[in-house]
Amino acid sequence: MSELIQNRILVWDLPTRWFHWLLAASFAGAWLTSESERYSALHVMLGYTLLGLIAFRLVWGLAGTRYARFKDFAYSPARVVQYVKSLVAGKPEHYLGHNPAGALAVFLLLGLGIATGVSGWLTYNEIGGEWLEEAHELFANAMLVVVGVHIAGVVVSSFLHRENLARAMVTGYKQGGPDGSINKKRGIAALLLIAAVAGFWGLWFNGKLDSLVSGQASAQTEDGGGHRDEEDRRGRKDRHDDDD
């Protein structure tokens, strides 16, 4: 099949690739800062970024190019089982877009990303109780497990297909027949995505979005509410003080 044809064809458009690596970086950063009070503002910023990226991906799953669309990788459980069997037998079926097992991981990651981000936001604003904080940690840990399985799956599939799938997520190109190629990189949509993330980070670091971090806290602190102390929330200020 397509494995026999050795053309280099474009499979992942630019927005999908940028989404992927920004999501991976945001998740890694949010994970690394999750236990730190000093970097708590950075943790919150990366959580918002993760939610924003997933919101973009939900739109792109309907409006993106062929392999980015959800309908291209909405496989039935039976197809997932069939694919895993072919994988175990050492002869995995070749897919240009997401394979059925990979697709399952993608949907889990998107779902867990939303659950982790929303529960984090609610916990941070002290909406909900202790159980929500625990749910936030649980979702984040479940996401870490799925990320681990996802990366292992990418490594195993890359070896079995003799094709570097991680590189394909960077360059956009895979091996396949000319009919399989997408014909647009969608550079403008990618630029808008990057500009939105960069703009958000820029505003955040310049203190223009403090209401997302401390606005409600100030209000609550003034009337003796139960929020964490404002200074505690303003990781940036803490950091400055520590650096002095």
Residue numbers at the binding site for ligand HEM (CB under 6 A) = 16, 19-20, 23-24, 27, 57, 68, 98-99, 102, 106, 109-110, 147, 150-151, 154, 165-166, 169
Q: How far is the CB of 154 from ligand HEM (least distance, A)?
A: 4
User: Nearer to ligand HEM by C-beta: 153 or 233?
Assistant: 153
SS3 track for 11-69: CCCHHHHHHHHHHHHHHHHHHHCCCCCCCHHHHHHHHHHHHHHHHHHHHHHHHCCHHHC
User: How crowded is the C-beta side of 23, counted as CA atoms within 13 Å?
Assistant: 24
User: Nearer to ligand HEM by C-beta: 109 or 212?
Assistant: 109
Residues 6+ apart with CB under 8 A from 58: 110
| Strands of the chain, DSSP E | 8-10, 173-175
How far apart CA 165 and CA 171 sit, in angstroms, is: 10
Q: How far is the CB of 12 from ligand HEM (least distance, A)?
A: 7
User: Nearer to ligand HEM by C-beta: 45 or 217?
Assistant: 45
Q: How far is the CB of 134 from ligand HEM (least distance, A)?
A: 21
Measured in Å, how far apart are the chain's first and last C-alpha atoms?
63
Q: How far is the CB of 50 from ligand HEM (least distance, A)?
A: 8
Q: How far is the CB of 55 from ligand HEM (least distance, A)?
A: 13
User: Nearer to ligand HEM by C-beta: 20 or 239?
Assistant: 20
Backbone φ and ψ of 126, nearest 5°: 55, 40
* DSSP class of 70: G
Task: Say if residues 175 and 7 touch (Cβ distance below 8 Å).
Answer: yes
Q: How far is the CB of 19 from ligand HEM (least distance, A)?
A: 5
User: Nearer to ligand HEM by C-beta: 97 or 235?
Assistant: 97
User: Nearer to ligand HEM by C-beta: 75 or 204?
Assistant: 75
